[in-house]
């Protein structure tokens, strides 16, 4: 079932806006207005992926922090990036955050709560789409989580003409 990733992410952001507002966190969404970000994937599952990543970016941010979601295209792929300027993740924990129930330091977790399943689900869903989750993080600066999905480009106008 093809769908537009830009519209799906707008829905996710809309759903999480309350949660962000409570912490005075601003969510900014960047994409090219001229482009259609059509992909073929399990829409409900990709909704969960985006929901988990954006909700983490809010939860592990500082009050008054910012979350940026970027859609970029290259060749036949759409790249989704979720950035926060929160506390970041220590390098020794970075490899383990995708394990079930793994949470960085319990003291930090007190505030937000959670089960430590979100990223394990994200990883599992993306693997099922032949994709993978990437992360880079700097302590005290923030984190960037990203993944790719196939981009179903609209055919160019000339191509439409010649194929009729
Ligand atoms: P759940 O998502 O099940 O409610 P959770 O958020 O603790 O609980 P995950 O989403 O799997 O679980 O994240 C695992 C751990 O990785 C978190 O507990 C947190 O310590 C760390 N983490 C995840 N995202 C970020 C982020 N954007 N910034 C800093 N730490 C993060
Ligand atoms: Mg989570």
Q: How far is the CA of 26 from the centre of ligand 1 (A)?
A: 19
Mutate to test the pocket of ligand 1, among 56, 105, 126, 146 (most ligand atoms within 8 A of CB): 56
Torsion from C-alpha of 7, 12, 13, 14, nearest 10 degrees: 90
pTM given for the model: 0.93
Per-residue exposure over 18-33, b if at least 16 CB sit within 10 Å of its own CB, e if not: eebeebebebeeebee
With cut-offs at 50, 70 and 90, classify the pLDDT of residue 40.
very high
Residue located nearest, by CA, to atom 2 of ligand 1? 118
Q: Tell whether the model's pLDDT for residue 109 goes beyond 60.
A: no
Residues within a 6 A CB radius of ligand 1: 52, 56-57, 60, 84, 86-87, 89, 97, 102-104, 108-109, 114-120, 143
Lowest average pLDDT, out of 37-41, 81-85, 111-115, goes to 111-115
User: Which pLDDT belongs to residue 85?
Assistant: 97
At 150 the three-state DSSP class reads strand
User: Which pLDDT belongs to residue 111?
Assistant: 59
Distance in angstroms (rounded) separating the CA atoms of residues 113 and 13: 20
């Amino acid at each position: 079932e093809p769908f537009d990733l830009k519209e799906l992410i707008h829905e996710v952001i809309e759903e999480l806006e309350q949660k962000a507002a409570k912490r005075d966190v601003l969510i900014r969404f960047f994409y090219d207005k001229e482009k259609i970000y059509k992909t073929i994937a399990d829409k409900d599952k990709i909704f969960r992926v985006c929901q988990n990543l954006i909700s983490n970016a809010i939860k592990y941010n500082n009050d008054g922090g910012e979350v940026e979601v970027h859609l970029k295209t290259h060749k036949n792929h759409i790249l989704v990036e979720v950035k926060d300027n929160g506390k970041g993740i220590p390098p020794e924990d970075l490899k383990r955050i995708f394990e079930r129930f793994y949470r960085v330091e319990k003291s930090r977790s007190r505030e937000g709560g959670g089960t430590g399943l979100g990223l394990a689900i994200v990883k599992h869903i993306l693997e099922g789409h032949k994709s993978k989750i990437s992360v880079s993080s700097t302590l005290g600066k923030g984190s960037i989580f990203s993944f790719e999905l196939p981009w179903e480009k609209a055919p160019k106008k000339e191509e439409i003409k010649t194929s009729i």
